[in-house]
C-alpha cells in the first residue's frame, strides 16, 4: 500500500497537469482584461509611429478598439463573437504593403511585450491571426 501512494500522487499530478492544459489561449492570456491591455498598448504604438499612423487617419479609434478587442477574443478562443466588417472591407483601398504590414506586426508584438504576454502565448495568438494577412495586403 505504501508503494502505491507515490504512484497515486504522480498520477494525480499528471491528471491535474493535463486539465490545466485544456484552458483556452484566452484564459492563458488573462481574459478580457489582458486583451484590453494589449489593444490599448497597440493603439499607443500606432499613435507614435509616423509610418503606420496615416493608415488610421480616418478611423474611428473607439470602434477600432472595440472590434480589434472582439477579434483578439475570438482568435484566442474567448467567449466573444466578432461583429465588425470583414478584413477586406476594412482594409480595401488602403494599399497596405508587405513592409507596412510587417511593421504593424512588430508594433503588435511591442504591445504584447508591454502587457507582459509570454512569447509562447504571443506566438500562439499571432499564428491564429495569420489567415488575415492576405485579406489586408495590397497585392
| Residues 46-73 pLDDT 10s | 999 999 999 999 899 999 999 999 999 9
Please check whether residue 63 is in contact with residue 37, taking contact to mean a CB–CB distance below 8 angstroms: no
**Angle 111-117-123 (CA atoms, 0-180°, nearest 5)?**
90
Tell me the pLDDT tens digit for each residue of 97-119.
Answer: 999 999 999 999 999 999 999 99
- Cβ–Cβ contacts within 10 Å for residue 118, how many? 12
Domain region containing 91: 24-136
Please count the structural domains in the chain.
1
pTM for the predicted model, two decimal places? 0.82
Question: What grid cell was written down for 28?
Answer: 492563458
Location of C-alpha cell 494577412: 133
Question: Which residues fall within 8 angstroms of residue 58, CB to CB, at 6 or more apart?
Answer: none
Indicate whether 8 belongs to any domain. Answer: no
19 within domain boundaries:
no
Half-sphere exposure of 61 (CA within 13 A, CB side): 12
Quick check: is 121 in a domain? yes
CATH number at residue 31: 1.10.490.10
Residue 96, beta-bridge partner list: 137
Amino acid at each position: 500500500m505504501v508503494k502505491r501512494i507515490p504512484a497515486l500522487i504522480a498520477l494525480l499530478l499528471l491528471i491535474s497537469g493535463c486539465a490545466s492544459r485544456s484552458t483556452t489561449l484566452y484564459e492563458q492570456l488573462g481574459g478580457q482584461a489582458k486583451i484590453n491591455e494589449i489593444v490599448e498598448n497597440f493603439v499607443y504604438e500606432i499613435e507614435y509611429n509616423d509610418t503606420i499612423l496615416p493608415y488610421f487617419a480616418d478611423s474611428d479609434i473607439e470602434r477600432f478598439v472595440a472590434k480589434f478587442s472582439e477579434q483578439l477574443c475570438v482568435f484566442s478562443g474567448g467567449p466573444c463573437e466578432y461583429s465588425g466588417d470583414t478584413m477586406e472591407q476594412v482594409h480595401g483601398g488602403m494599399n497596405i504593403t508587405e513592409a507596412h504590414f510587417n511593421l504593424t506586426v512588430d508594433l503588435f508584438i511591442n504591445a504584447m511585450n508591454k502587457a507582459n504576454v509570454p512569447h509562447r502565448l504571443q506566438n500562439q495568438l499571432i499564428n491564429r491571426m495569420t489567415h488575415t494577412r492576405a485579406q489586408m495586403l495590397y497585392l
